[in-house]
């Protein structure tokens, strides 16, 4: 089944790298007009060019620090001016911050909440009125399997992501009668540029391919996932094909999570 997003406008935070870039590329190839948001203009420009190679719709890039409320508002206004109202919002901006609980300061907690929870709240609040008015919308919150199955030393990420899971459910119930569907995708072990950075930081002499293969050993499918595999699931949720799917969280993790 071919998934089409023709005529839709998608806004993806954290859209210049990793999963965000993969989703933007898939959405654009499926016919959507795509706006990507990130902090670095140079990386955004590279991403815009890469997405444009296979795009069937318009691709635009906007500088935005989602941790800053005024930056979020300004970016949303710029997207609407250039591309029209947002039909599909993907709250993807984030990072993996994990440490022992007693090491987490108030400042670290606050920074994590701003990046992963309040950013999604603020952007959703901006796009929701237009979605309700048109009685069509898709909101996808990219979280982590730790939201449902936290492990030792997984805070603050697991706690913040769990809050994102609750937000997803609350929004899905409030928006259902307006035909705005809200779902979450829970990331497992996916190969992105972040894995390459971890490989470099580890200082190992093993090739990157061997490092990735080793990380995939404990996953039931026996390998790490590819960003494109994740993007295909996101594209389905963003489309008319997912018209009866809302309020759910889908693990995209090769069977890794102990919680279905």
pLDDT along the chain (260 residues), means of 10: 95 98 98 98 98 97 98 98 98 92 97 97 98 98 97 96 98 98 98 88 89 95 98 98 98 97
Residue 96 pLDDT: 84
In angstroms, the CA 52 to CA 50 distance is 5
Residue 198 pLDDT: 84
Distances (CA, A) of 2 to 8, 156, 168, 185: 16, 38, 27, 20
Residue 217 pLDDT: 96
In angstroms, the CA 166 to CA 147 distance is 10
**Domain boundaries in the chain?**
9-189+226-251, 191-223
- Gyration radius of the chain's alpha carbons: 18
Residue 204 pLDDT: 84
In angstroms, the CA 218 to CA 198 distance is 18
Residue 172 pLDDT: 98
Residue 205 pLDDT: 86
Q: What CATH number was assigned to the domain covering residues 9-189+226-251?
A: 3.40.50.720
Residue 201 pLDDT: 87
Is the CB of residue 161 less than 8 Å from the CB of residue 176? no
Query: pTM here?
Result: 0.96
């Amino acid at each position: 089944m071919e998934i089409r997003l023709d005529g839709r406008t998608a806004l993806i935070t954290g859209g210049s790298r990793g999963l965000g870039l993969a989703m933007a590329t898939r959405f654009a190839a499926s016919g959507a007009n795509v706006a990507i948001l990130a902090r670095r203009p140079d990386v955004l420009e590279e991403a815009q060019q890469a997405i444009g190679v296979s795009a069937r719709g318009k691709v635009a890039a906007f500088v935005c620090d989602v941790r800053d409320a005024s930056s979020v508002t300004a970016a949303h206004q710029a997207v609407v001016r250039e591309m029209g109202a947002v039909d599909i919002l993907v709250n993807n901006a984030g990072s993996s911050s994990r440490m022992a609980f007693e090491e987490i300061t108030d400042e670290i907690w606050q920074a994590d909440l701003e990046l992963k929870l309040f950013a999604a709240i603020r952007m959703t609040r901006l796009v929701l009125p237009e979605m309700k008015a048109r009685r069509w919308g898709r909101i996808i919150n990219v979280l982590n399997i730790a939201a449902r199955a936290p492990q030792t030393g997984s805070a603050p990420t697991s706690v913040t992501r769990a809050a994102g899971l609750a937000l997803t459910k609350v929004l899905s119930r409030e928006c259902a009668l307006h035909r705005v569907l809200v779902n979450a995708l829970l990331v497992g072990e996916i190969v992105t540029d972040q894995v390459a950075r971890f490989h470099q930081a580890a200082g190992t002499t093993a090739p990157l391919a061997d490092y990735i293969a080793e990380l995939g050993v404990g996953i039931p499918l026996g390998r790490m996932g590819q960003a494109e595999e994740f993007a295909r699931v996101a594209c389905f949720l963003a489309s008319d094909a997912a018209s009866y799917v809302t309020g759910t969280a889908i693990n995209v993790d090769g069977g890794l999570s102990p919680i279905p």
